[in-house]
Amino acid sequence: MTGTPLRMPDLRCEDARQVARDVLSAHGVGERLAADVLLVVSELVSNAVRHAGGVTGFHVRHLRDCVAVDVSDATSACPRAPGTPAEVPGGFGWQLVNRIAARTEIRCGLAGKTITALIPLPAAT
């Protein structure tokens, strides 16, 4: 994890957002992109806490062309797919993550899953 080490079972959205802010600030990321990244962090961490027993891993990385947010939890159950009918409760946060991120990846294993959201950096002008 980049930033202050946190005990994963105790990770709260506000702690995760602060770690993300620290990473983004260190790389001079603008306000608009930072707001998008913080929203993705909030959604993925709150979903892990609410639906998957908590966060088992968290990492924010500033890469050449994007910011990557990785959130791991202890269940291999996938988030509700975008396109879930509106009358079915929930799933809106996952849809939001997929609108903000250029790409999302879900890697499942025996110990759970990791979701990576790749949020593109703005094109240089």
Strands 55-62, 112-120: pairing kind: unpaired
Spell out the residues 6+ positions from residue 47 whose beta carbon is closer than 8 angstroms to its own. Answer: 79, 93, 94
Single pTM value for the model: 0.86
pLDDT in tens, 40-82: 999 999 999 988 888 999 999 999 999 999 999 999 888 866 5
Domain boundaries, the chain: 8-120
Q: Which two tokens stand for residue 5?
A: 């080490």
CA distance 52 to 79: 10
Q: What is the CATH number of domain 8-120?
A: 3.30.565.10
Q: Residues 6 or more apart from 90 whose CB is under 8 A from it?
A: 80
Per residue in 110-121, pLDDT (tens digit) is: 889 999 999 999
Per-residue pLDDT band for 9 (boundaries 50, 70, 90) equals low
Distance CA 81, CA 75 (A): 16
Given a contact cutoff of 8 angstroms between Cβ atoms, the answer to whether 60 and 11 are in contact is no
Average pLDDT over residues 89-110: 88
Secondary structure letter of residue 92 according to DSSP: H
**Can you say whether residue 97 is alpha, beta or left, with left for phi > 0 and alpha for psi between -120 and 50 degrees?**
alpha
